């Protein structure tokens, strides 16, 4: 029951649509009506600008971190604590991507998954963050960096598990979260293959409502 409760809390945290709230507060727009129609930081960057996008990114990262930390409090001093944390992290991504508060729309889960990954295995995040940033910097494709990070996460985490820095729950989280993030980028993968994916810096003009 503790794991179920942790997952429910994680989902509700992840479902808070910070991108939508920031968009309405800063420009009076609904991010779902512009650009990729997602509520994440990348669409916020194209539609709202760098400052608003940074706020969305940090808030979405925070959802993943808090979901894992709360799960550890809910299922404290128990052999299943880290499994509850992993479940809450995954649930936060599901909530972010399919939020019950905005008719099961949302983002792609990158920032939220990174936040939970940092709370589950900071070592994995420290290795992957420079790789993702380098790919985005060299290619100007946020989606390519995000997908690469998602696919590498379980491999890197498993490596740290071999030297006893993390346990099986962290590997399980990395695997499931990586699959969720990659699946959420299905349309981006299609555009990357077709050569029509938008690069970072291409802005979407949003008029206030």
Residue-by-residue pLDDT tens, the chain, 209 positions: 889 999 999 999 999 999 999 999 999 999 999 988 999 999 999 999 999 999 999 999 999 999 999 999 999 988 899 999 999 999 999 999 999 999 999 999 999 999 999 999 999 999 999 999 999 999 999 999 999 999 999 999 999 999 999 999 999 999 999 999 999 999 999 999 999 998 886 655 455 54
CA distance 137 to 52: 20
Q: Choose among 15, 35, 183, 45: nearest CA to 108.
A: 183
Dmax (CA) for the chain in angstroms is 54
């Amino acid at each position: 029951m503790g794991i179920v409760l942790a997952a429910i809390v994680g989902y509700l945290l992840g479902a808070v649509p910070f991108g939508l709230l920031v968009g309405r507060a800063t420009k009076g727009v609904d991010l779902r009506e512009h650009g990729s129609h997602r509520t994440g930081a990348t669409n916020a960057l194209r539609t709202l600008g760098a400052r608003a996008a940074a706020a969305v990114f940090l808030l979405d990262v925070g959802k993943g971190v808090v979901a894992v930390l709360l799960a550890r409090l809910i299922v404290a001093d128990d052999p299943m604590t880290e499994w509850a944390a992993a479940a809450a992290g995954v649930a936060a991504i599901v909530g972010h991507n399919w939020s019950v508060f905005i008719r099961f729309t949302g983002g792609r889960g990158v920032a939220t998954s990174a936040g939970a990954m940092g709370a589950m295995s900071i070592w994995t995040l420290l290795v992957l963050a420079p790789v993702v940033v380098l790919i985005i910097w060299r290619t100007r494709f946020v989606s390519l960096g995000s997908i690469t990070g998602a696919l590498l996460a379980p491999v890197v985490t498993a490596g740290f598990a071999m030297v006893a820095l993390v346990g099986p729950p962290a590997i399980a989280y990395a695997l499931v979260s990586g699959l969720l993030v990659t699946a959420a980028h299905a349309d981006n993968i299609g555009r990357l293959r077709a050569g029509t994916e938008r690069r970072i810096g291409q802005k979407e003009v949003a008029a206030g409502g």
